[in-house]
Amino acid sequence: MLPRLLKLPDDQSFFLFGARSTGKSTLIEQQFLPESSLWINLLMPAEEERFARNPDELKALVLALPAAKKHVVIDEVQKIPKLLDVVHDLIEHTDKYFIMTGSSARKLKRGGANLLAGRAFVYHFFPFSFLELGAAFNLDRALRFGSLPKIEFFHNDEERMRFLQAYTQTYLKEEIWSEQFIKKLDPFRRFLEVSAQCNGKIVNFSNVARDVGVDDKTIKEYFAILEDTLIGFFLEPFHHSFRKRLSQKPKFYYFDTGVTRALARLLSLPLMSGTSAYGEVFEHFIILECMKLASYYYPEFRFSYLQTKEDKEIDLVVERPGLPLLLIEIKSAENVTQNSLRTFLQLTEELKPCEAVCFSNDQHPKRFDHVTVIPWCDGIKKFFVPAVY
């Protein structure tokens, strides 16, 4: 198994949240061996029924553990939120550490679940970064099929396509329908396709509602479901005034390029360098890489995008405590010119002091006035990975 970048403590209780199939259980198993820890897998129907019927069963099991067994792993803890009350009591009165994974925060948030009030750290986990794949990384494959761990172990594109199609269908069944987050499946299925086609664009809730055939309120609830089940996130507009920041419309991004293309029914179409479709997926990929690495190494970074009244944009604005604004333009071209950065140069000039960079497919760095063009992999390492990596 390829090593992952996220480092987890062995002397603290913690939550590990991430979408299905990002490798949470595999990561935990590598550090907390089942033979030396108590493992409870709530994805198993018998286990779920057992603890749903009697949450206090957990207390009885933990109190009977030998001193050498210090860790208790509860996989997919959101299945039974009431277990967290028992965990809270056990953290207070025993010397055991609790590792709780989850692919959805919806039941926990909506049910007012006990999130242990700081007694457990919170980590987020994502599909592979290009850094984790190392020499095995392939940009074209990552853009077309995404970076979920299983993608790397299939032998051909047909297998990758079938996996992603099955993944999106399983998500509908297990994460949405079986958990009773929605009452009607067909409109939500249509919403997934429409929202994937709008990935990376400013969200117009009314337009999406019209295309899906439901009202605006329902569409906002659907987007909330995607957020809560860790399938996507909003990128808010940047503004120096926080009040004004909230008055503008966000963009929405899915958590993986392959899942996005599967939902949009685009998997069978090749991505051709130099096309607008390629540029959009490349931008999506770079934003995901920046955000996942910042989550691991710089969790206080805040991400947004900037759009002027004249519809001029900066792809990514990164607020870094104690450092100037980092303004990032993303271009898939292999030869970025000063002319192609004209708008970015103008906008960033007005936001000085700042660091203005362009991540691209160029092979070597360039400098145009105050903007540095950097090969995307080098740029991501420079700004989102500690120097000791």
Q: What is the pLDDT of residues 182-193, one digit of tens each?
A: 888 889 999 999
The pLDDT-based confidence of 173 (bands split at 50, 70, 90) is confident
Task: Using a cut of 0.75, tell me whether the model's pTM lies above it.
Answer: yes
The pLDDT-based confidence of 103 (bands split at 50, 70, 90) is confident
Q: In what order do the strands lie in the sheet with 37-41?
A: 37-41, 71-75, 97-102, 14-17, 121-124
Q: Residue 138 corresponds to which amino acid?
A: N
Give kind and range of the element (H or E) at residue 192: helix 185-197
Interval 249-273 mean pLDDT: 95
Q: Which pLDDT value is given to residue 289?
A: 98
The neighbour count for residue 47, using CB atoms within 10 Å, is 18
Q: Which pLDDT value is given to residue 111?
A: 53
Residues 377, 231, 381, CA angle at the centre, nearest 5°? Answer: 15
> What SS3 class is residue 229?
coil
The pLDDT-based confidence of 388 (bands split at 50, 70, 90) is low
The pLDDT-based confidence of 104 (bands split at 50, 70, 90) is confident
Work out the angle between the directed axes of helices 185-197 and 205-212 (0-180°, nearest 10): 130
Q: What is the pLDDT of residues 324-347, one digit of tens each?
A: 999 999 999 999 999 999 999 999
Q: Which tokens go with 163?
A: 């996996």
Give the closest residue to 267 by CA, choosing from 141, 161, 147, 171.
Answer: 161
What are phi and psi for residue 337, nearest 5 degrees? -110, 165
Q: Which pLDDT value is given to residue 115?
A: 64
> What SS3 class is residue 372?
strand
Interval 116-134 mean pLDDT: 90
What's the whole-number average pLDDT of the chain?
Answer: 92
Q: Which tokens go with 189?
A: 């299925």
Q: Which pLDDT value is given to residue 379?
A: 98
Work out the angle between the directed axes of helices 216-228 and 205-212 (0-180°, nearest 10): 100
Comparison of pLDDT for 151 and 311, the residue scoring more:
151
Residue 125 has pLDDT above 70, yes or no: yes
Q: Which pLDDT value is given to residue 336?
A: 96
Query: What DSSP designation does 108 have?
Result: H
Q: What is the pLDDT of residues 295-307, one digit of tens each?
A: 999 999 999 999 9
- CA-CA distances (angstroms) from residue 157 to 150, 154, 198, 256, 337? 12, 8, 24, 17, 34
Could you tell me which residues are beta bridge partners of residue 327? 317, 356
CA distance linking residue 29 with residue 12, whole number of Å: 16
Q: In what order do the strands lie in the sheet with 354-360?
A: 302-307, 313-319, 325-330, 354-360, 371-375, 366-368
CA distance linking residue 309 with residue 127, whole number of Å: 35
Q: Which tokens go with 364?
A: 């070597």
- CA-CA distances (angstroms) from residue 245 to 238, 248, 262, 306, 322? 6, 6, 32, 10, 21
Q: Domains in the chain, please, with CATH?
A: 14-124 (3.40.50.300), 130-234+255-270 (no CATH), 282-384 (3.40.1350)
CA distance linking residue 260 with residue 231, whole number of Å: 10
Q: Residue 157 corresponds to which amino acid?
A: D
CA distance linking residue 226 with residue 207, whole number of Å: 18
> What SS3 class is residue 193?
helix
Residue with tokens 């271009």: 331
